[in-house]
Structure 1
């Protein structure tokens, strides 16, 4: 009888596992706190449901697998949700009566969670052993609680045998389930990044650029589009080979990553052409950012294979505006870039929407090292 009821508990636990794991791995939550609260509340509710569907040994003692949802959170290292769920599950035990057995169960749940956090830290790099150890720890605490409440007798031994049998089985299966979820989500992340990032530079690709910039004119925010390309890049490819051209592109992209903010969108559009979206900067400040990038590139020696390091420069066109369609802004940035090329390269040109003309933001005539 004990086995059947614990198997029902296990089925409920696995269903809850699936739902909670999906939420834990979801990327649709903008707030970590909100997501943590939801996960904690759902896990606590699952523990309470397991209690209600558990075994009523007597009027005040219940047996179930309420510890299993806590193992899930501890395995993921979700401390805040674990605290919420632990308090809900521990306190809900008193719904079945304020008794000594309930108090023992309350303390046991607290000990289970505290011990699992310690196990998580100690076995962080050994996930399967970590999960099994958490389950064994929880079952040990349950054993202590049962023996305190029932004493050493046939009923207690039969109950513990069923609990350990089902508990360990569920523990192993839950370990495999959570590891499978982690592996699956890791693969999804890899495929997502592969689809979003340019394979050579690690910047966003053209598809992501189009997705991220669609509807910019409807946001009502000031934004700047920077169009960049590498001056005389065909000469680099023709002189040093396409492999070295790729090395130059990678080093160029690394500079763009370092000189832009995390929330700026930097993309390789194709070949040696790059675009950067910068929000909420006045034209003067956007120009300052562009010049910082340009000067950094002009001052750096680019390492290539089989030849001495070479110098590279970039020309930059900027379009500044608000409530302007991205296609129009991109065209203006490209026109500014073309003007920079015509005026001698290694310079920044800003399109001024107010005067409807191109303004030479810089006319760099620095001596480039040979």
Structure 2
């Protein structure tokens, strides 16, 4: 019976949804592209399985739930996997014969996917409504395709009623599963973010800083620890309020990220205290980088709320070394920072820890 076949299809699709979702959220891939190709192929094979186990209305017309893997991929906004799966599912329809009905099914499959992209783009944050609308859109297009192939009749009405009943039911169940997995993934991401990032500036916090710098003395490469402090920051808070002080800190952090490399470690470890870890720069080069940062901060106009814009300055201490303990590097950077402040602030002071070690020994 058609309803039994479609129900079996729905159960298989439901299981496939779960497996593909797990792969989608997996971190066991070298690149997002390789993961996308794999997901697209898995979804395509699931669609092919659903197609082979579909309902054969007559020798030319087949009805199944091959659209369900496409719904999942569209929900995640995974365009590369969606296009791969769509091409796979649409093309394999011709395995049942190169007929006018197969051509209609091929076009309908692509039409379903293109419409899904449009739906996801506009409803990406309304998870449940988006998921159900993706299913409704697919069922609507399928109904039109079957009408073209089968014509209007009582058998068409019965078949479409069955398809919509099973399709909406499995769509509801798959929506609940997919949304649950997506929300679990978002919660895990938020927990990781809160554990690793400073909530105000978005920079790494002290925990991550300690993790990145813990092995400095075991790494056979030159490293630089920069300690930065906003000059007279207490005066900013006292004069303009802590809310404006937070705006200054946020913009200060943005400038640090703009003036450093992607693989540099930038962290906030105190109120107005920031640190940067830079590898493989000579003392001359890191001093130029620090001077560029200092100048960028000095020239920046910091916009405040309910007050005129202000200018601030920063003092920077640098510790340069190779295979030196992190405590030694941090102390040297802090001492250089204090020296910069004692010397009038708004300047860069560098200490070569390796040379000091040679002199001491």
Q: How far, CA to CA, are the matches of 2:30 and 2:347 in structure 1?
A: 39
Is it true that 1:294 corresponds to 2:299 in the alignment? no
Matched, 1:274 2:261: no
Contact 1:351–1:357 (CA under 8 A) maintained in structure 2:
no
* 1:1-370 equivalence runs, <5 A: 1-26=1-26, 29=29, 31-58=31-58, 61-121=61-121, 128-215=128-215, 222-231=222-231, 249-250=249-250, 252-299=252-299, 312-341=312-341, 343-352=343-352, 355-356=355-356
Q: CA deviation at 1:158?
A: 2.8
SS at match of 2:268: strand
TM-score where L is the length of structure 2: 0.80
- Contact 1:228 1:315 (C-alpha < 8 Å) held by counterparts: yes
Work out the number of aligned pairs and report it: 358
Work out the CA distance in 2 between the residues paired with 1:269 and 1:247. Answer: 17
- CA root-mean-square deviation: 3.7
Q: Say which is worse superposed, 256-265 or 202-211, in terms of deviation.
A: 256-265
C-alpha displacement at 1:67, in angstroms? 0.4
More deviation, 211-220/64-73:
211-220
Question: Is the 2:337–2:349 contact (alpha carbons within 8 Å) kept by the matching residues of 1?
Answer: yes
User: What is residue 364 of structure 1 aligned with on the other side?
Assistant: none
Answer with 290-299 or 319-328: which moved more: 319-328
Q: Decide which moves more: 174-183 or 242-251.
A: 242-251
CA gap of 1:7–1:214, structure 2 versus 1, over 3 A, is farther
Q: Which moved more, 1:224-233 or 1:74-83?
A: 224-233
Q: Secondary structure at the match of 1:90?
A: helix
Deviation of the 1:215 alpha carbon: 3.9
Q: Is the 8 A contact 2:213 2:326 kept in 1?
A: yes
Instruction: Identify the residue that residue 367 of structure 1 maps to in structure 2.
Output: none
- Structure 1-normalised TM-score? 0.78
Residue 164 and residue 267 in structure 1: after superposition, are their counterparts in 2 closer, same or farther (change >3 A)?
A: same
Q: State the secondary structure of the residue aligned to 1:270.
A: coil
Specify whether residues 164 and 216 from structure 1 end up closer, same or farther in structure 2 by C-alpha distance, changes over 3 A only. farther
**Aligned-residue offset at 1:115:** 3.1
Q: Return the alpha-carbon distance in structure 2 between the equivalents of residues 303 and 156 of structure 1.
A: 66
Change (3 A) 1:310 1:163: closer
Q: Structure 2, unaligned stretches of length 5 or more?
A: none
**Secondary structure, aligned partner of 2:198:** coil
**Cα offsets for 1:308-353 (capped at 9, x unmatched):** 9876543322223444454443343234334434545433222335
Flag structure 1 segments of 5+ consecutive residues without an equivalent.
359-370
